[in-house]
Amino acid sequence: MIIGAGLGGLECGYILAKNGMEVVVLEHDVHIGGCLQSFKRGNILFDTGFHYIGGLRQGESLHGLFKYFNLLDLPWKALDEDCFDEVVIGDRSFPLAVGHDRFVDTLAHYFPREKDNLTKYVGFLKSVGEHITDAFLPREASDFYSTSLFARSAYQFLVDTIGDPLLRKILSGNSLKMELRQDTLPLYVFAQINNSFIQSAWRITGGGQQIANHLADDICRMGGTVRTNAMVTAIKDENAVAKGVVINGEEFMEADYIVCDIHPQEALQLLAQSTSVRNIYRRRIGALENTYGMFTAYLALKPESLPYLNRNLFVHDPQAQMWNAGDIATESVMVSFYDNQPALDLLSPMKWKEVEQWADKPKGRRGEDYVEFKMQKVEDCLRLVERRLPQLRDAIDRVYTSTPLSYNHYVLTSRGSAFGIRKDWHSPMTTVLTPRTPISNVLLTGQNLNLHGVLGVSMTSVFTSAEILGMQTLVDQMDVRHWK
């Protein structure tokens, strides 16, 4: 039994069905996919949270995992190798290139005195990526988290390695795919994610929903079931063993194992009546902080009004803090293009407290002040982005928006968090979670455990499934020894 049909839940379902288990995936929404969902407005298909991935070529970080999950044949489109991400700071623009050597050479053109430091920086990221399969080796969790790169500061590594403050900003400037907090972000998260995109960067033509649909179709083909409109309202257990789940408040379904692809705090709510979960565990999970959310402006453009760019733009105010983003100011925006339709997305970090005053109001009835707030955020994003794309404003046909409230409502991300639970290098043993819970046959998966993003969630789905099948079984099936 799997609660939640996001990427982690569907990948766990795929693994378990592939190994002959009877799998039922239960999704509360009418659509599967979580943050992979695509939605249509007029004739434009927008993506909810999926924009691009890294490391999809043979021998790279994500390739082996997606080969196992049968996802390599989807319509992937490689971004420009000379500039997959363009970082814009004020009126200056800097390209980030695919390939470790090319990445160094491209930036060294602007910072020749930093070439040796860039080589060290990229060499370290590459070494982290080359050891990605080490995560599947047996070890004591306490030793791993206390001595690994989860226990080192990403920010301190950057300061120690790169001397030029502007170059440090550039190397941080395309990292709106993680929460850059100077006091908490572990080095492993920063290094593994950034390395995967330096390896190679990819969009998918036609929307991220295809990933979810493909996994769901394969689960069903292997004898499993994927149900929508199936809200799990309770997990029933006896003597620290789960017996099954209650669906939509009335239907009971038995289960040998329950995998929760939801926030751990939400999972504990489903176990609210359990006497097997000690209060100390509830307090520990309840005290975990969440990363910030995202404001997104989905822009439908007039046909042929704006040239398509086969790259992402990351546009920053010259005074943008990046590592400790301000609570309210819109100072950084990611621009993500669609390659098959006149549209693009503008994404900017947004803290929960910016929208908290409307949190108790139902969707569609949050008032004119909420609408005005969102339109002001659109304007703030446009003012920043039009420094790089001066023709954008006139190219806009229609605008749609989402805030952390939208993510909280549609995909049940706690407080609309974009990257799950905040990992803290000071205390990796408490903020980097394992799949296990106090209930022996209830497991966790998804972005809240180890790494977030497609790479992190895919790895975590293997860790979760290994609690049932054994890691050696999965290592052999995935042929991990031949990934490099």
Tens digit of each residue's pLDDT (9 = 90 or more) over 214-271 = 999 999 999 999 999 999 999 999 989 999 999 999 999 999 999 999 999 999 999 9
Write down the mean pLDDT value for the chain.
93
CB 181 within 8 A of CB 41: no
CB 289 within 8 A of CB 422: yes
The two tokens of residue 293 are: 């959310």
Q: What are phi and psi of 386, to 5 degrees?
A: -70, -5
Helix axes 453-469, 7-18, angle to 10 degrees: 40
Lowest-pLDDT choice from 22-36, 59-73, 127-141, 461-475: 127-141
- State the CATH class of domain 2-75+208-289+423-482: alpha beta
* Length of the chain, in residues: 484
Quickly count: other Cβ atoms within 10 Å of residue 371's Cβ: 11
Residue extents of the structural domains in the chain: 2-75+208-289+423-482
Question: Could you write out the DSSP letters of every residue in 379-417?
Answer: HHHHHHHTTT-TTHHHHEEEEEEE-HHHHHHHS--GGG-
The two tokens of residue 38 are: 């695509």
Distance between CA atoms of residues 458 and 11, nearest Å: 7
Distance between CA atoms of residues 465 and 470, nearest Å: 8
Helix (H, G, I), strand (E, B) or coil at 33: coil
Helix (H, G, I), strand (E, B) or coil at 455: helix
Quickly count: other Cβ atoms within 10 Å of residue 58's Cβ: 11
The two tokens of residue 198 are: 């330096």
The pTM for the full model equals 0.95
Regarding beta strands 76-78 and 38-41, do their DSSP bridges make them parallel or antiparallel, or are they unpaired?
unpaired
Tens digit of each residue's pLDDT (9 = 90 or more) over 39-67 = 999 999 999 989 999 999 998 989 999 99
Lowest-pLDDT choice from 158-167, 326-335, 350-359, 383-392: 326-335
CA dihedral 43, 207, 417, 356 (to 10 degrees): 0
What residue type is 48 in one-letter code? T
Tens digit of each residue's pLDDT (9 = 90 or more) over 409-456 = 888 888 889 999 999 999 998 999 999 999 999 999 999 998 889 999
Beta bridge partners of 38: 47
Nearest to 428 by CA among 185, 192, 194, 175: 185
CB 219 within 8 A of CB 10: yes
Band of pLDDT at residue 142, cut at 50, 70 and 90: very low
Q: What are the C-alpha distances in Å from 224 to residues 26, 251, 258, 360?
A: 11, 19, 15, 37
Question: Look-up: residue for tokens 């990351």?
Answer: 314
Write the CB contacts of 107 (distance below 8 Å, at least 6 apart in sequence): 94, 96, 114, 118, 167, 170
